[in-house]
Amino acid sequence: MSTLLKPSKKVGISKVALRRSLCRESYYDFFTTFWPEVVAETLVPNWHIRIVCDELQKICERVIAGKPKRYDLVINIPPGTTKSLTCSVMLLPWLWTRMPSLRFLGGSHNADLALGFGNKARRLIKGDLYQETFPEIKIAPDQDTKGYFANTLKGERMATSTGASIIGVHFHVHVIDDPINPKGARSILDLKSANEWMTEAVSQRCVSLAITPLILVMQRLAVSDPSGILLAQTTGTPVRHICLPAEKLDNIKPAILANKYKNGLLDPVRLSREVLEIKKERLGSYGYAGQFEEKPTPSTGGMIDVAKIQGPLVPPSPDKFKYVIRWWDKASLLGKGDYTAGVLMGIKHDAKDFPIYWVLDVVRKQLGSTAREKLIVDTARSDKIKYEDNYKIGLEQEPGSGGKDSVIATIQKLDGYHVLSERPTGSKMDRANEFASQVGGENVAIAPGVWNKAYLEELEQFGPLCAHDDQVDATSAAFNWLCRKKLVFGAVDFLWLFLMFSIGILR
């Protein structure tokens, strides 16, 4: 006779234990679970949040395991997409659940912003839900200041800002969130300062150069912004690039993520068509391109439509040009990122034969003052042989007595040449406007040369947020001088024809 056995009592797992297990194993689950502890509004899920969380977990898992990093990470994503919450606020509390001794550097362009991210992370850790789930993680009372806090298990978090000194401590993970703001990206000096801080200060604060990853999250604000510098490097640690523009464009990375866009939008709820149209109107084409398209120049094209430049074409013979001028935009200091550029342009005798304006040659180098002056003189000799009496030299005069003295010194070295100088007025955009119009009218051509690629790239990227504009400045000045000359000899031609016509009537 068989005996019926009573089923054993189920051994269940507690709600807290389940939450602990799920949140430790998945940063995305941690993020969604603890969202209400940080933000009052209900989380609106979107696929990009999972992508970012998974990428952050992937790069940090190697740190937790003590393995060498495979790459640094650059994330270009628009504002308003929870980027700072995922990268700067909630990542460290999650990392401490896996590696309580981890040291974390969180930086931004603004000290108050960086401190704010740290404060939110601290409140999350001290909160009831976190303490119930991970009671072993406690903030050390004697190491809990505005910009720095530590736990009782030797983990640390420091907040810093662009340009700030970082000494005396090394970190397992660096997260730099917007190291430069849109206004700062319009300044070459601010860009240079941000890039130097990233490469010279942040990069040295590593527990291990082989292990510590750099996670940079920002909008693409300029060609040479910190993400541009990292992405352009050809040596050192590889860089993984996650690029998620607000609209479905050709710069999405990895490209396969384009399939996740809904009706051509990254996030139809946070960044709807209506919202994006308002942003376009308020920010303008360049501001919108950098912050929402993740491009240093607008997808609709920059100010100068390089696609309408004719060529490269073999230029007419030198005798076909009425005037030829080499205009120089001189860099003042070596090693400051500026170039000396000399653009040779010509205007043809026959103004009815298009294209009228030709860019015949470009010289562009980073040189000290002595080598720069020698380059200008040597180039003048070469140009003069080819273009003879039609050849002129133009020099831009910088403001102040120093700019005037520099022009006088160069003119003295160019004895025997027709040299003129002008002090530029108005903005760079205003000065380039007429040249851009003639390009749009397909009246400009370029001769072939090794300089073509760098020249056309600078023209294409020219705008308020461009990294370099030396070639554009020289081009604008040369063009505007030629344009004035065209009006003069055009008027002379008209008067000559009128005189001949009058003589014919009198006869």
10-residue block means of pLDDT along the chain (507 residues)?
A: 46 86 98 97 96 98 97 97 97 98 97 96 98 98 95 97 90 97 80 91 93 96 89 91 97 97 97 96 84 82 84 93 94 69 91 80 93 95 92 87 82 93 84 88 94 92 74 94 68 44 47
Both structure tokens of 145 = 């200041």
- Tokens 């009782």 belong to 152
Rounded Cα distance, 398 and 406, in Å: 8
CATH of segment(s) 306-492: 3.30.420.280
Rounded Cα distance, 71 and 76, in Å: 16
Question: DSSP state, 304?
Answer: S
- Secondary structure element (H or E) that encloses residue 495, with its range: helix 470-506
Distance of CA 146 to the CA centre of its chain: 31
Architecture of the domain whose range is 15-291: 3-Layer(aba) Sandwich (3.40)
Say if residues 31 and 88 touch (Cβ distance below 8 Å): no
Rounded Cα distance, 341 and 470, in Å: 6
Helix-helix angle 27-38:15-25, to 10 degrees: 120
Q: Residue ranges of the domains in the chain?
A: 15-291, 306-492
Instruction: Report whether the peptide linkage leading into residue 254 is cis, meaning its omega lies within 30 degrees of zero.
Output: yes
3-state helix, strand, coil in the chain (%, to 5): 45, 20, 35
Question: DSSP state, 206?
Answer: B
Say if residues 316 and 303 touch (Cβ distance below 8 Å): no
Rounded Cα distance, 125 and 467, in Å: 41
Show contacts of 413-417: CB within 8 Å, 24+ apart. 413/373, 413/376, 413/377, 414/376, 414/377, 414/380, 417/380, 417/384, 417/391, 417/393
Rounded Cα distance, 28 and 45, in Å: 11
Torsion over CA: 131, 136, 142, 146 (sign): negative
Q: In sequence order, what are the beta bridge partners of 343? A: 327, 362
Q: Where are the beta strands (DSSP E) in 77-234?
A: 103-108, 139-144, 148-151, 156-161, 173-177, 214-218
Phi-psi region of 264 (alpha: psi -120 to 50; beta: other; left: phi over 0): left
Both structure tokens of 99 = 């590696």
Both structure tokens of 411 = 């003119």
Rounded Cα distance, 403 and 323, in Å: 26
Torsion over CA: 366, 438, 424, 296 (sign): negative
- Secondary structure element (H or E) that encloses residue 459, with its range: helix 452-461
Q: What is the dihedral of CA 22, 28, 30, 33, to 10 degrees?
A: -100
Rounded Cα distance, 363 and 342, in Å: 5
Closest by CA to 77, choosing from 110, 62, 55, 58, is 55
Show contacts of 53-57: CB within 8 Å, 24+ apart. 53/27, 53/28, 53/86, 54/27, 54/28, 55/240, 55/242, 56/27, 56/86, 56/87, 56/91, 56/215, 57/26, 57/27, 57/28
Identify the pLDDT of residue 59: 98
Cβ-based neighbours of 430, under 8 Å, separated by 6 or more: none
Identify the pLDDT of residue 419: 94
Burial of 32 by CB count in 10 Å (0-12 exposed, 13-18 middle, 19+ buried)?
Answer: middle
Q: Are strands 72-76 and 148-151 parallel, antiparallel or unpaired?
A: unpaired
Closest by CA to 236, choosing from 71, 61, 67, is 71
Cβ-based neighbours of 441, under 8 Å, separated by 6 or more: 308
Closest by CA to 180, choosing from 151, 214, 145, 222, is 222
Closest by CA to 105, choosing from 247, 248, 181, 215, is 215
Say if residues 357 and 479 touch (Cβ distance below 8 Å): yes
Cβ-based neighbours of 344, under 8 Å, separated by 6 or more: 324, 325, 326, 359, 360, 361, 362, 383, 478
Q: Are strands 340-348 and 321-329 parallel, antiparallel or unpaired?
A: antiparallel
Say if residues 383 and 356 touch (Cβ distance below 8 Å): no
Identify the pLDDT of residue 272: 97
